[in-house]
Amino acid sequence: MTAAASPAPIAAMAPCWGLALPPPLAALRDLALDLRWTWSHRGDALWERIDAELWQRTHNPWILLEDVPAARLAALAADPGFLAHLDALAAERRAYLAAPGWFAETHGRAALAGVAYFCLEFGLGEALPLYAGGLGVLAGDYLKTASDLGVPAIGVGLLYQEGYFRQMIDATGWQQEAYPYNEPTMMPVQPVLDQAGTRLHILLDLPGRRLRLRVWRAMVGRTALYLLDSNDALNTPVDRGITGKLYGGSTEMRLLQEIVLGVGGWRLVETIHPEIEVCHLNEGHAAFALLERARSLSARLGIGFEEALWVSRAGTVFTTHTPVEAGFDRYPMALLEQYRHAAMGPAAEKIAAIALSLARTERGAPVNMAFLALRGSFISLGVSALHGAVSRRIFQPLFPRWPEREVPVGHVTNGVHMPSWESPEADAIFAPAGGEARWQRMAEPLRDVIAAVDDAALWEMRGRSRQRLVTAVRARLGRHLTGRGHDPAMVARAESVLDPNTLTLGFARRFTGYKRPNLLLADHARLERLLGDPHRPMQLVVAGKAHPADEEGKRMIAEWVAFTAHPEFWARVVFLEDYDIALAQELVQGVDVWINTPRRPWEACGTSGMKVIANGGINLSMLDGWWAEGFAPDLGFAIGATTAPDPAAQDAADAAELYTILEREVAPAFYDRDPAGIPRAWIARIRRGMAVLAPRFSATRMLRDYLEQAYLPASAALRRRLADGAAAARSLRAWERRLHHGWKSLHIGAPDMTAEADGWSCHVPVYLGEIAAEDVRVELYADPPRSDAPGDAPGNAPGAAPSVALARGAPVAGAVNGFTYAGRVVTTRPRRDFTVRILPSHPEARVPAELPLIRWQE
């Protein structure tokens, strides 16, 4: 088995695609194509040396190489100093790629052959604008972390011709959308070729035509991101547009995108990386992949589709991201019918019937991609503890009569790739104590690294970072104002917005109702008092896009833009247009306080607040998503502890709390300085935040959790199910059939509960009807005690339910296949709390994830 990111077995790269370099400079090409430069700044000096101006303007080595004059390249090819610099950098890269990495050292390479991470968007940096927001940035951070840790993973996504829109704010404060064209030759991607040296195409059958998908590869350190696009000259004009816009087209286009990503993506994996074991569906968009995988397995192994599902499921992991059922993608049957063949392959009739039974809870309902993903996955996870609980409620209908708390959705809280978000200033003070690989470590060593830096150095780092943000904001604002045709006097004002010594608040996110991006504007007078406080002033930088169809979001943007025109506060509040990764980096590196005000529990996780931690920023956020589990009073600030009867009252209460905390806690702590001018209490909070929160909310921790909770168990199960011609999968399918067939014949008699000193002993007659005793498990069950603690979602009270297995004893006299089951439970709870139930049981199956049958005592 080879590592997933090693060069593809049949695909080679075009030797001179898009770029001709003098031979001595050949190594530049690999350096420029490796997106590691989006987080490792070792190469910056080299690129600057090639062309300082181009580097400053683009910060994109690939564009730089394409634009630098040939004469300049020729000169560099003859410059020994430059060639030595290039050699050193190329050697450093080789060493990074060759290092065994944390994964191989900890688990051994053989533990996992590879993971294919499917996502509709990937946000690695502005050089590859194939993302809209948090989901994509998470996917980008995931790949970078996989590279750093040496986890064998690849990404599978789409190369959009236009991607997500770019935002302009017009003179009236209204958002305008623009879709610049993504020219593949201008992006650090390479076409994947087949063995014959021609471009590899993945083919899909659409009604009356064959869709040809081109394949691109972006290198992310040791990891590869494969991208499919339909813009092939032989496709119909409409089909060429399938991979046009991200989240922009009709329902039909979206379905086609998901077929391309799921079915096309899985074919791509089988063609280029057949060793891949785990298919990770990051959100339900790519769920067709599991049907394609099962279809292909069934053909290859000569087993039925349902048997093949038992194989493919073992190798599938699903992460759900939405906290509301309305957030799931759904397709009307009529539409799916049209593309059934494409989505499900040749034996469409039968497969479709099975797929539909997985993807819906009732006949006639639209096909729900999240349901399909969950039903086809071995392990399903939410993205924070709170979101896990919310997801168990949302997916409950797939597990009829199962208690909500046993719905098989756990969670792995998201994390961010700290090196991508850390400022040069923070890097400069922590690197000497911690080394380049400090973010790959967990809590203990990091704590020492932070302790090694003194208060004065930390505070100076904060000052320099804030200063850099102020400079960057002025430059951006100046460009925006110029671009809108303002007169020079107005443009000149940009030069004096913000102050490098003032407490700086940042707020940037998608402008949509539940994020409440205008909560800070709830009471203008109070906000103005905070900003204008003569002794403890504040300033605020705001950014964010609204989805093109979201009028409410656009109105909220206009409200902020209007506020920034306030004659007294224009220098204290700035709205920056076109929130993207580059702007996010500037913001999270420079602000003192990052504000987040979602309506609970709608923020499934949220990641932007994690990015400020590496830079000594502090969070002030609703107790929602990650902050509900990360917050402690000595680490940051929280609002939302109270629950109001309706949303309007909740908004008012949360806004009031937000102002009060800013006024009474945040400003005093920031401005309370000792004789040396250092805010000791503030620094102490930064220090604790970095030591406690950075390791917990880094993508290093996230990826380790995914490995331990999902990938390693999944790959082990997959191997067992594949062994001996998929014998285990065949046996599991036969078991499933037996249970489906005989389940109705089960019957539980009246239990006899006898009090004992420390609990109960139970004897119960169970009539198994047509079912073999080995196929089921009989349990004595009680709901966990209710908890009314505010942090607990209903039905998710902590504490394990006393649920004990009952052992099969003597046959019930005169009954066919009836037995007395018996057991004891140690408890103080009353007898009425306990019920007997029967569950499917098989040593290889995950119940109820893979078979949600249950029978309760009547």
Binding site for ligand PLP (CB under 6 A): 133-134, 137, 509, 579-581, 584, 606-609
**606 vs 616, beta carbon nearer ligand PLP:** 606
Measuring CA to CA, how many Å separate 551 from each of 49, 322, 522? Answer: 47, 21, 19
Among residues 35, 39, 63, which one has the least CA distance to residue 51? 63
In the complex, what is the shortest distance from the CB of residue 35 to ligand PLP, in angstroms, rounded to a whole number?
16
**147 vs 607, beta carbon nearer ligand PLP:** 607
**35 vs 449, beta carbon nearer ligand PLP:** 35
Tokens encoding 291: 């049907």
Among residues 391, 406, 389, which one has the least CA distance to residue 284? 391
CA 18 – CA 449 distance, rounded (Å)? 44
**140 vs 802, beta carbon nearer ligand PLP:** 140
**61 vs 606, beta carbon nearer ligand PLP:** 606
In the complex, what is the shortest distance from the CB of residue 57 to ligand PLP, in angstroms, rounded to a whole number?
20
**584 vs 618, beta carbon nearer ligand PLP:** 584
CA 222 – CA 97 distance, rounded (Å)? 6
Q: Report whether 416 contacts 615 (CB < 8 A).
A: no
**581 vs 662, beta carbon nearer ligand PLP:** 581
Q: Which spans in 302-368 are helix H?
A: 305-314, 333-338, 340-344, 348-359
Q: Report whether 154 contacts 273 (CB < 8 A).
A: yes
**18 vs 125, beta carbon nearer ligand PLP:** 125
In the complex, what is the shortest distance from the CB of residue 86 to ligand PLP, in angstroms, rounded to a whole number?
31
In the complex, what is the shortest distance from the CB of residue 838 to ligand PLP, in angstroms, rounded to a whole number?
43
CA 204 – CA 610 distance, rounded (Å)? 40
In the complex, what is the shortest distance from the CB of residue 515 to ligand PLP, in angstroms, rounded to a whole number?
7
In the complex, what is the shortest distance from the CB of residue 553 to ligand PLP, in angstroms, rounded to a whole number?
13
**191 vs 606, beta carbon nearer ligand PLP:** 606
In the complex, what is the shortest distance from the CB of residue 320 to ligand PLP, in angstroms, rounded to a whole number?
15
**504 vs 585, beta carbon nearer ligand PLP:** 585
**230 vs 423, beta carbon nearer ligand PLP:** 423
- DSSP-derived letter for residue 710 is I
**11 vs 557, beta carbon nearer ligand PLP:** 557
How many CA atoms, within 13 angstroms, populate the side-chain half-sphere of residue 119? 27
In the complex, what is the shortest distance from the CB of residue 30 to ligand PLP, in angstroms, rounded to a whole number?
27
CA 299 – CA 710 distance, rounded (Å)? 27
In the complex, what is the shortest distance from the CB of residue 384 to ligand PLP, in angstroms, rounded to a whole number?
11
Enumerate long-range contacts of 622-625, CB under 8 Å, 24 or more apart: 622/596, 622/597, 622/598, 622/654, 623/791, 624/386, 624/598, 624/599, 624/600, 625/383, 625/384, 625/386, 625/387, 625/598, 625/601
Measuring CA to CA, how many Å separate 340 from each of 243, 331, 371, 674? Answer: 19, 12, 17, 70
Phi, psi of 203 (to 5 degrees): -110, 140
In the complex, what is the shortest distance from the CB of residue 102 to ligand PLP, in angstroms, rounded to a whole number?
24
Measuring CA to CA, how many Å separate 371 from each of 36, 63, 184, 846? Answer: 36, 42, 35, 17
Cis peptide before 848 (omega within 30 of 0): yes
**608 vs 820, beta carbon nearer ligand PLP:** 608
**191 vs 616, beta carbon nearer ligand PLP:** 616
CB-count burial class (<10 Å; 0-12, 13-18, 19+) for 531: buried
Residue whose pair of structure tokens reads 């290092």 in the numeric block:
99
Residue 832 CB neighbour total at 10 angstroms: 8
Q: Report whether 223 contacts 7 (CB < 8 A).
A: no
Amino acid at site 12? A
Measuring CA to CA, how many Å separate 179 from each of 163, 533, 578? Answer: 7, 42, 12
In the complex, what is the shortest distance from the CB of residue 424 to ligand PLP, in angstroms, rounded to a whole number?
18
**33 vs 699, beta carbon nearer ligand PLP:** 699
Tokens encoding 156: 């599978």
In the complex, what is the shortest distance from the CB of residue 318 to ligand PLP, in angstroms, rounded to a whole number?
20
**426 vs 838, beta carbon nearer ligand PLP:** 426
In the complex, what is the shortest distance from the CB of residue 518 to ligand PLP, in angstroms, rounded to a whole number?
15
CA 781 – CA 795 distance, rounded (Å)? 15
In the complex, what is the shortest distance from the CB of residue 395 to ligand PLP, in angstroms, rounded to a whole number?
22
In the complex, what is the shortest distance from the CB of residue 606 to ligand PLP, in angstroms, rounded to a whole number?
4
Among residues 380, 442, 443, which one has the least CA distance to residue 412? 380
Phi, psi of 63 (to 5 degrees): -65, -40
DSSP 750-786: --EEEEETTEEEEEEEEE-TTS-GGGEEEEEEEPPPP
Residue whose pair of structure tokens reads 């004891």 in the numeric block:
824
Tokens encoding 691: 């030591």
**579 vs 659, beta carbon nearer ligand PLP:** 579
In the complex, what is the shortest distance from the CB of residue 585 to ligand PLP, in angstroms, rounded to a whole number?
8
Q: Report whether 189 contacts 195 (CB < 8 A).
A: no
Phi, psi of 834 (to 5 degrees): -105, 140
**29 vs 516, beta carbon nearer ligand PLP:** 516
The residues, any chain, with a CB within 8 Å of residue 485's CB and separated by 6 or more, are 171
In the complex, what is the shortest distance from the CB of residue 462 to ligand PLP, in angstroms, rounded to a whole number?
21
In the complex, what is the shortest distance from the CB of residue 335 to ligand PLP, in angstroms, rounded to a whole number?
30
Phi, psi of 139 (to 5 degrees): -65, -40
How many CA atoms, within 13 angstroms, populate the side-chain half-sphere of residue 807? 6
- DSSP-derived letter for residue 441 is S
Q: Which residues pair with 306 in a beta bridge?
A: none
